């Protein structure tokens, strides 16, 4: 059926029509190094034990709306301060949306440095808020003068700071984030999606700043398929944000599997350790290649700049050789000629390096 364009333009909001849908490329039979996934599966004994656990799940019943057991596991595994509350989302993406829904009003602003995680802008638009992106400086650090001016001018309801930042991989200076916490009129959400790959965190600072919330996810630590994120902060804020949550947003399979996986969190922690070691090796190998600028990373991916104007060509050449990474070169600005590779298994990283050497 063909829907007449005028009907669509009459009813679908213009800001939605202007969006392009979040695009996820089909990996085909490529080695998948594009999405910051943990490349490792579980040992056989763990899979068997997990399947046993799933036998007990009652699919005919609604899940525990508060997911209490899962929350307690997360609290212990992530060292959540005892006086802080936890709110769960269907991925941290849903929590970003819940935060935005709780503060949304026409004319209100979501602010984030750029480049950063694309969902901050997308969700601001979805909930009818204005979005202000403040360019990072040449070192991918916060431009504090520009941030100060933008905060003063726009009085943002929420500032999102990814720590480490995606897609650049670096940590912003903690002093800069603290300065923003002190001047921001509204909420400051420190998004720690890559916490398994860095020693830095703002969790311990929650009790020092009454406008700070910390966002975590189990996706990058090896459970991306579960869709489970958590927001950590003072009960006063989280009690309000919780009202935007649809009931039963964390399904029974996610609750049971998440709880099970966190009972064996040492397996995931060991995988994260391997990824951190392999990140150093991959970084060193990339630095050996002629003509590349390689950026240090506290995450499970590495951003690198290829010779001017060759981003698309090299991305395509890698794909031709069955290696899928992320092409950011089209974004321009500080990301001009940049590609991003997720740290995979050693043999996947080798295949990527071989393909890149051949293509260069």
Ligand X SMILES: *Cc1c(COP(=O)(O)O)cnc(C)c1O
Interface with ligand X (CB under 6 A):
36, 91-93, 117, 162, 166, 191, 193, 217, 219, 224, 229
Rounded Cα distance between 342 and 164, Å, is: 14
CB nearer to ligand X: pick between 224 and 317: 224
Residue 357 Cα distances to 113, 129, 204, 246, 297, angstroms: 33, 45, 43, 49, 21
Min dist CB 217 to ligand X, Å, is 3
162 contacts 132 by C-beta, under 8 angstroms: no
**Pairing between β-strand 323-324 and β-strand 31-32 as defined by DSSP bridges:** parallel
CB nearer to ligand X: pick between 254 and 329: 254
Min dist CB 315 to ligand X, Å, is 20
Min dist CB 165 to ligand X, Å, is 7
CB nearer to ligand X: pick between 63 and 222: 222
Min dist CB 237 to ligand X, Å, is 19
**Pairing between β-strand 229-233 and β-strand 187-191 as defined by DSSP bridges:** unpaired
Min dist CB 224 to ligand X, Å, is 6
Rounded Cα distance between 220 and 218, Å, is: 6
- The gap from C-alpha 189 to its chain's centroid, in whole angstroms, comes to 12
Residue 96 Cα distances to 5, 111, 119, 229, angstroms: 32, 13, 8, 10
Min dist CB 47 to ligand X, Å, is 22
Token duo for residue 270: 């060991």
CA atoms 229, 232, 237, 242: torsion sign? positive
Task: Please give the helix or strand (H or E) that residue 328 lies within, else none.
Answer: none
3-state helix, strand, coil in the chain (%, to 5): 45, 15, 40
Measured from each CB, the residue nearest to ligand X is 91
Min dist CB 48 to ligand X, Å, is 26
Rounded Cα distance between 245 and 63, Å, is: 14
Helices (H) and strands (E) in the chain, counts: 13, 13
Using DSSP, state whether 235 is helix, strand or coil: helix
Min dist CB 324 to ligand X, Å, is 17
Token duo for residue 195: 């916490």
In the block, tokens 């070169």 appear at: 329
CB nearer to ligand X: pick between 38 and 219: 219
Give the number of other Cβ atoms within 10 Å of residue 137's Cβ: 13
225 contacts 218 by C-beta, under 8 angstroms: no
Min dist CB 91 to ligand X, Å, is 3
Token duo for residue 165: 């930042």
């Amino acid at each position: 059926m063909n829907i007449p364009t005028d009907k669509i333009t009459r009813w679908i909001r213009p800001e939605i029509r202007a969006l392009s849908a979040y695009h996820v490329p089909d990996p085909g039979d490529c080695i998948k190094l594009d999405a910051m996934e943990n490349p490792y599966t579980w040992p056989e004994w763990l899979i068997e034990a997990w399947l046993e656990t799933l036998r007990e799940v009652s699919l005919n019943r609604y899940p525990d709306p508060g997911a209490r057991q899962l929350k307690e596991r997360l609290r212990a595994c992530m060292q959540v301060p005892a006086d802080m509350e936890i709110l769960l989302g269907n991925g941290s993406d849903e929590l970003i949306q819940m935060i935005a829904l709780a503060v949304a009003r026409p004319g209100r602003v979501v602010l984030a440095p750029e480049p950063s995680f694309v969902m901050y802008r997308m969700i601001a638009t979805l909930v009818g808020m204005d979005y202000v992106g403040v360019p990072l400086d040449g070192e991918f650090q916060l431009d504090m003068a520009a941030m100060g001016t933008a905060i003063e001018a726009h009085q943002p309801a929420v500032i999102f700071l990814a720590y480490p930042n995606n897609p650049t991989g670096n940590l912003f200076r903690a002093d800069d984030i603290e300065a923003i916490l002190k001047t921001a009129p509204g909420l400051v959400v420190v998004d720690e999606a890559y916490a398994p790959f860095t020693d830095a965190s703002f969790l311990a600072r929650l009790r020092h700043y009454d406008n700070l919330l910390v966002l975590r996810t189990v996706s990058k630590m090896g459970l991306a398929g579960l869709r489970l994120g958590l927001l950590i902060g003072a009960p006063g804020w989280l009690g309000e944000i919780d009202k935007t949550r649809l009931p039963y947003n964390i399904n029974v399979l996610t609750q049971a599997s998440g709880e099970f996986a966190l009972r064996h969190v040492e397996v995931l922690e060991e995988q994260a350790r391997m990824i951190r070691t392999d990140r150093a090796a991959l970084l060193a190998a990339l630095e050996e290649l002629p003509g590349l600028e390689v950026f240090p990373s506290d995450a499970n991916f590495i951003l690198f700049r290829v010779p001017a104007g060759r981003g698309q060509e090299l991305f395509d050449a890698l794909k031709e050789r069955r290696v899928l990474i992320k092409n950011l070169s089209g974004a321009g600005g500080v990301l001009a000629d940049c590609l991003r590779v997720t740290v995979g298994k050693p043999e996947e990283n080798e295949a990527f390096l071989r393909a890149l050497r051949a293509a260069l």
